[in-house]
């Protein structure tokens, strides 16, 4: 039988013995003295072994890579699950891309971000052992240079949430002018932020300023100044006054962080809003490095829309349910029938006894004055704060209230924004708030930093249209709400805006019957008219 020929691996013709046909080798061939299989040289053997080894190595390498890929993927998934669990535990809600991880301790700021040791010590010395939920997420977001819209309940540590990353970002004092700007709606809140920043930055050399008098500020911060300052805390109106001077009385071209506190109030339209001023301030901060952060206790739709349109890759952080009240406040709705019933209910609370300090909110300056004149004769230490009082009077009143010299402080809604009065035990909404947002800010003056507090809200027949939205907030916080209130109709969006811009017209606060008040009013008009007639002939001569 003739042997077949075939091509070998090297391309040469080789014969295949019949003994190998069918892929089998006959036994006699194996044991015969002469084999038909050509001899393999040692070089070929080494080459073959190397080739097999390389193939095995590649297969093994692919398996290792696949295994590593699976392992790293699982680890990343596990990490994300842990972060989600952590955020859910602390009721932190985040929206955005490339989200920075939250921190669980202030010590992480040293391990991961290399915080100034003195700054860290100041944080711990001030008694801040563990970050609050808003601080856990907002601080890393700002340290990564991301623009931010943040919302958290009142008393949850928002001031520290932006103060720490600002001080860490600036690193050390320089002579470039203001590199951080913090805007707040009221002078009192600005003073509070300034005070906390000064305390927090002690020993670091940072120069933190407020605008007290515009004329002095123009000389201090104007074009010819030394620029030896770092952080400015101010209200919009004072800053706008300086910016409108020719040349501008202040330079904001070096600002790297612009923080707006109580942003929903500042973005409001109308007399109490600062939307136009904010636009001018934003345009004055021309540095390509500038980043912006908005903080508030409530989320306003207008602010959120503006941030999404104007901020770069904005991250939204909220703690707890949106536009909700703190759960540490016991909330109560009290029907008083009429305006006269409010004063009677107020006096009843005083008679029963209360645990000061107490904040009482009314809807206007005129009503604040009226209630003050009624309560001053009740034998309690009472005072009033509103925009008609001088800055010195307002500062003295706030200081006395903090010192415990004043038991009851009457104020308008604007003061509800952000001021941290330590240990307020009771908030009384003498006049019903015009919105659920205003209600949240008012009652947020009590129950701060985990302490218990109480809020009592008077309402009359006239307040029915506003009841439903506030009742929802109370119910969400786990406090009881009368069943009949739940059946009230909700206001439409247009109606809500109208109520905010033009609150209810209320009767004067007085124990004197309405009949006698109107009679006295008519008498004053008559007397005024008679006096004018008497004066007229003298004027002609």
Question: Which of 251, 243, 163, 260 has its CA nearest to residue 208?
Answer: 163
Domain residue limits, the chain: 80-319, 329-515
pLDDT of residue 146: 96
The DSSP output letter for 212 is: S
- Are 51 and 36 a contacting pair, CB within 8 Å? no
| Rounded Cα distance, 451 and 156, in Å | 11
d(CA 6, CA 38): 13
Give me the CATH code for the 329-515 domain, please.
Answer: 3.40.50.300
Q: Which residues of the chain have pLDDT under 50?
A: 1-2, 5-7, 9, 16-36, 517, 535-541
CATH number of 80-319: 3.40.50.300
How is 152-209 classified by DSSP, letter by letter? --TTS-HHHHHHHHHHHHH-S--SSS--EEEE-SSHHHHHHHHHHHHHHTTTS---EE
Radius of gyration (C-alpha) of the chain in whole angstroms: 37
* Structure tokens that stand for 526 in this block: 């008559």
Using CA atoms, how far apart are residues 333 and 457, in angstroms rounded to an integer? Answer: 5
Beginning with the edge strand found earlier in the chain, give each strand of the sheet holding 426-429 in spatial order.
329-337, 453-460, 426-429, 358-362, 408-412, 382-385
Q: pLDDT value at position 75? A: 83
* CB neighbour burial string for 39-54, b if at least 16 within 10 angstroms, e if fewer: eeeeeeeeeeeeeeee
Give the integer Cα–Cα distance in Å for 329 and 445: 10
Please tell me the predicted confidence (pLDDT) of residue 485. Answer: 85
Q: Specify the pLDDT at position 216.
A: 82
Please give the full DSSP string across 394-443, using - where no structure is assigned.
HHHHHHHHHHTS-SEEEEEGGGGTT---TT--EEEESSPPSSHHHHHHHH
- Coil, helix or strand at residue 312: coil
Residue identified by tokens 């711990």 is 124
- Minimal CA–CA distance to 375: which of 346, 397, 339? 346
The residues that bridge with 333 in the sheet, in sequence order, are 457
Helix/strand/coil for 53: helix
pLDDT of residue 32: 46
Q: Which region, left, alpha or beta, applies to residue 237 given φ > 0 means left and ψ of -120 to 50 means alpha?
A: alpha
Say if pTM beats, i.e. exceeds, 0.85.
no
pLDDT of residue 108: 95
Q: What are the structure tokens assigned to 367, written together? A: 């009503």
């Amino acid at each position: 039988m003739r042997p077949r020929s075939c091509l070998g691996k090297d391309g040469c013709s080789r014969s295949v013995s019949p003994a190998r046909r069918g892929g089998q080798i006959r036994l006699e061939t194996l044991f015969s003295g002469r084999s038909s299989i050509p001899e393999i040289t040692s070089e070929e053997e080494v080459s073959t072994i190397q080739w097999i080894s390389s193939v095995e190595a590649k297969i093994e390498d692919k398996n290792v890579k696949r295994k590593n890929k699976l392992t790293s993927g699982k680890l990343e998934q596990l990490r994300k699950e842990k972060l989600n669990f952590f955020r859910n535990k602390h009721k932190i809600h985040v929206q955005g891309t490339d989200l920075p991880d939250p921190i669980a301790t202030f010590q992480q700021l040293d391990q991961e971000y290399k915080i100034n040791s003195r700054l860290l010590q100041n944080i711990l010395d001030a008694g801040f052992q563990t970050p609050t939920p808003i601080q856990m997420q907002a601080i890393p977001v700002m340290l990564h240079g991301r623009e931010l819209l943040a919302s958290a309940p009142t008393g949850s540590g928002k001031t520290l949430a932006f103060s720490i990353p600002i001080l860490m970002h600036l690193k050390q004092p320089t002579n470039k002018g203001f590199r951080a700007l913090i805007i707040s709606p009221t002078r009192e809140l600005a003073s509070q932020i300034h005070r906390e920043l000064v305390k927090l930055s002690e020993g670091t050399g940072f120069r933190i300023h407020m605008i007290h008098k515009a004329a002095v500020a123009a000389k201090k911060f104007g074009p010819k100044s030394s620029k030896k300052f770092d952080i400015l805390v101010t209200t919009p109106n004072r800053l706008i006054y300086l910016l409108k001077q020719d040349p501008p009385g202040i330079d904001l071209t070096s600002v790297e962080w612009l923080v707006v506190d109580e942003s929903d109030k500042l973005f409001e339209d109308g007399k109490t809003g600062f939307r136009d001023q904010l636009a001018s301030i934003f345009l004055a901060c021309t540095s390509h490095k500038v980043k912006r952060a908005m903080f508030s206790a409530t989320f306003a739709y207008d602010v959120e829309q503006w941030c999404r349109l104007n901020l770069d890759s904005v991250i939204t952080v909220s703690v707890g349910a949106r536009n909700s009240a703190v759960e540490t406040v016991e909330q109560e709705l009290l029907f008083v029938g009429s305006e006269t019933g409010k004063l009677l209910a107020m006096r009843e609370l005083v008679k029963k006894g209360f645990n000061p300090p107490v904040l009482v909110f009314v809807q206007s300056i005129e009503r604040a004055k009226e209630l003050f004149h009624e309560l001053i004769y009740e034998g309690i230490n009472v005072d009033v704060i509103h925009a008609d009082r001088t800055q010195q009077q307002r500062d003295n009143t706030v200081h006395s209230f903090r010192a415990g010299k004043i038991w009851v402080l009457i104020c308008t809604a604007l003061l509800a924004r952000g001021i941290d009065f330590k240990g307020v035990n009771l908030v009384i909404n003498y006049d019903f708030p015009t919105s659920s947002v205003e209600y949240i800010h008012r009652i947020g003056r009590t129950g701060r930093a985990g302490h218990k507090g109480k809020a009592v809200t008077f309402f009359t027949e006239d307040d029915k249209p506003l009841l439903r939205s506030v009742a929802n907030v109370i119910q969400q916080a786990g406090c009881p709400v009368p069943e009949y209130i739940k059946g009230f109709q909700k206001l439409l969006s247009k109606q809500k805006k109208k109520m905010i811009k033009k609150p209810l017209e209320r009767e004067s606060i007085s124990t004197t019957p309405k009949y006698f008040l109107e009679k006295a009013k008519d008498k004053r008009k008559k007397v005024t008219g008679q006096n004018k007639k008497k004066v007229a002939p003298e004027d002609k001569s």
